[in-house]
Structure 1
Amino acid sequence: MITPTEPDEATAAFIAGMPKAELHVHLEGTLEPVQRLEFAQRNAVALPENDVAVYTDLTSFLASYYPNMAVLQTERDFFDLAYAYLTKATAQGVRHTEMFFDPQAHTSRGIPFSTVITGYHDAVVRAEFEFDISAQLILCFLRDHSAESAMDTLAESLSYRHWIVGVGLDSDERGNPPSKFAAVFARARAEGYLLTMHCDVDQPNSIEHIRQAIEDIGVDRIDHGTNILEDPRLVALARDRGIGLTSCPLSNAVVSDGGKAPEIVELLRAGVKITVNSDDPPYFGGYLTENLLALAATTDLTRDEFVRLQRNAFEISWISAVDRDAHLARLDAYVAGWAR
């Protein structure tokens, strides 16, 4: 775990108030303990026995993560889950977010795809109306399921294409390289989806998986991905192509041997469009602001570099050029206000 010291009061206030974009957060991973209990009681679902879990790696985390989803049963549950995250994100200064969801984790237990996507979409619509936030949904395929299941999920998603901005790949990476899903992602690209993939930290064959994602699949972004530093050629390729990396310090510190703060700093200073995000906040001890504050406490990043992290996030986000410019202008105005 990261054990941060407190950044100075002015830096902490600057980071907390800064307009932000979050590009790596799993809606199912925002399930707070109180929500878990509420949804279980609402739906008469027995809670899993693993109420308290100690995660030592990605595999042990996932063993706790997926059973908790059993409490999500109805459109209302999915709505309430997403709306609660969007409320929290707004309070932390997030002005744009792109949220992962895992339909196979629900359809595989009998919950219709339509139930999942409708609940989430309705929360996006309501939050955009009520709060000063924009939000988009990214459908993730579970890489420890078959490629055929992913292709079926992709086909089912097309009826809701106007609600989904892109597709991703998550879950247990061991033995499940990007190449396993090459045909699925090729079709997703042809259908108009943007592409991202998890390349989790310190996994077997990490650098080969990153290479496949960039060179063979042609992703627009990589989620996590700090192992790219093992290959300077791939670092240069990601920088030159403007491929963004969505890093998550607090979760890194739980599933690996550290928060990867030095790697984040090195990639940022090398000109790679790396960003900071919260991943699965209740599981790892913090939302976006807490991840940024942890980075502030464990690095020598300057205030200008924290601004660069947010500029990166808006610049690699999947929004229109007009909306991107508006968010960047808001960020510039915030920085100028502090300078005055």
Structure 2
Amino acid sequence: MHDGFASASDRAAYINGLPKAELHLHIEGSLEPELMFELAQRNGVTIPFASVEEVRAAYAFSNLQDFLDIYYQGMGVLHTEQDFHDLTAAYLARAHADAVRHVEIFFDPQGHTARGVAFGTVITGITRALDDAHARYGITSKLIMCFLRHLSEADAEATLDEALPYLGRIDGVGLDSSEVGHPPSKFTRVFTRARALGLKIVAHAGEEGPPAYVYEALDLLGVDRVDHGNRSLEDPALVARLATAGMTLTVCPLSNLKLCVVGDVADHPLKIMLDAGLRATVNSDDPSYFGGYVNANYLTVADALDLSKAELITLARNSFTGSFLDDAAKAKHLAAIAAYT
């Protein structure tokens, strides 16, 4: 061990208390098997699993699509405002336990409205839990509505229309789901419209898709932040551009491992990103499915890559500087990190 840590347990204790933000979290991906069963029973929904253990055994993925197939199946238990509240509240309790002070969470309205669940039901349940967590834990939040990229741009436009009455609670729009074959350019017009409405812009790019998708996210969508971005490293000119621009990458180590984006955490590019001057952050993505919330991601990658205290501080600082908080709030969180260290 080096740089202030006497042991792995010393580093783990440090990570556990380090103030941090989470910028890449799909709220539907925090649905734990226990809650899935509870909601299925509450709503009279039949699920194709006999036990919690059977659900966890199904969480073995070889690629993004394998995961998405079961992810959308899990969504089927979410029906009422209380369901969305309980889902979000469970995540926020875990985030609080991980010393997360601010969250910027994604939700996928198309995955619900297509099942007949009203847009208002989804967002009202989620925001009620966000408000409760602010009152209870002091956690602040931003809410990002994602468009499902395997669906059409017209479908995304209709979703943006549905969101208009709720823009007071929506801070940004994103792009997720099956990446390969669905480039950011497919959604140029709806993102242009969203930006004109004053919404922040993010997009999943460079997870399984090529560096060209990252360029499209930058040049056509005008993203404020890149979700994942791993494959940017294949293009030195792109790396230099991202570093110069101070573009935040919301990196998800355990997700990358579970979806076989990397074969081993020891091969994860996070340290390379930091060394290249990229504003990388650590996030949990879909923690129920990928085996860990934000601290588990920090701990796993810190051990595998032997991250120093300075690198951990950089990651935590990046999570706030890359957030959509105002400058005063960012400064307060950065001061908390300085005081902690």
Task: Indicate the TM-score class for this superposition, using the shorter chain for normalisation.
Answer: over 0.9
Structure 1 residue 132 displacement after superposition? 2.4
Q: Which residue of 2 is the match for residue 184 of structure 1?
A: 190
Q: SS at the partner of 2:24? A: strand
Q: SS at the partner of 2:167? A: helix
Equivalent residue for 2:321, pick from 304, 308, 315: 315
Q: Which residue of 2 is the match for residue 125 of structure 1?
A: 131
Q: Does 1:212 align with 2:216?
A: yes
Q: Which residue of 1 is the match for residue 297 of structure 2?
A: 291
Q: Which residue of 2 is the match for residue 3 of structure 1?
A: none
Alpha-carbon separation, structure 1, partners of 2:308 and 2:267 = 14
Q: SS at the partner of 2:145? A: strand
Structure 1 residue 254 displacement after superposition? 1.2
Structure 1 unaligned segments of length 5 or more: list them.
1-6, 336-340
| Partner deviation per Cα, 1:163-205 (whole Å, 9 max, x = no partner) | 01101000011211000000011001000000110115233xx
Q: Does 1:112 align with 2:124?
A: no
Q: TM-score, normalised to structure 2's length? A: 0.93
| Partner deviation per Cα, 1:22-41 (whole Å, 9 max, x = no partner) | 00010000000110011001
Q: Does 1:60 align with 2:66?
A: yes
Is the contact made by 1:252 and 1:260 (CA closer than 8 Å) also made in structure 2?
no
Q: Does 1:306 align with 2:312?
A: yes
Q: SS at the partner of 1:162? A: coil
Alpha-carbon separation, structure 2, partners of 1:322 and 1:221 = 20
Structure 1 residue 262 displacement after superposition? 4.1
Is the contact made by 2:266 and 2:305 (CA closer than 8 Å) also made in structure 1?
no
Q: Which residue of 2 is the match for residue 82 of structure 1?
A: 88
Q: TM-score, normalised to structure 1's length? A: 0.94
Q: SS at the partner of 1:301? A: coil
Structure 1 residue 301 displacement after superposition? 1.8
Q: SS at the partner of 1:279? A: coil
Q: Which residue of 2 is the match for residue 263 of structure 1?
A: 269
Structure 1 residue 46 displacement after superposition? 0.7
Q: How does 1:143-154 map to 2 (within 5 A)?
A: 143-154=149-160
Structure 1 residues 243, 267: CA separation in 2 closer, same or farther (over 3 Å shift)?
same
Alpha-carbon separation, structure 1, partners of 2:61 and 2:48 = 16
Letter in 2 for 1:239: A
Alpha-carbon separation, structure 1, partners of 2:250 and 2:156 = 23
Q: Which residue of 2 is the match for residue 224 of structure 1?
A: 228
Q: Which residue of 2 is the match for residue 17 of structure 1?
A: 17
Alpha-carbon separation, structure 2, partners of 1:178 and 1:8 = 41
Q: Percent identity?
A: 47
| Partner deviation per Cα, 1:264-310 (whole Å, 9 max, x = no partner) | 11111111111000011111110000000111111132111100001
Q: SS at the partner of 1:83? A: helix
| Partner deviation per Cα, 1:229-256 (whole Å, 9 max, x = no partner) | 1111111111111210001110101112
Alpha-carbon separation, structure 2, partners of 1:68 and 1:188 = 29
Structure 2 unaligned segments of length 5 or more: list them.
1-6
Alpha-carbon separation, structure 2, partners of 1:263 and 1:60 = 23
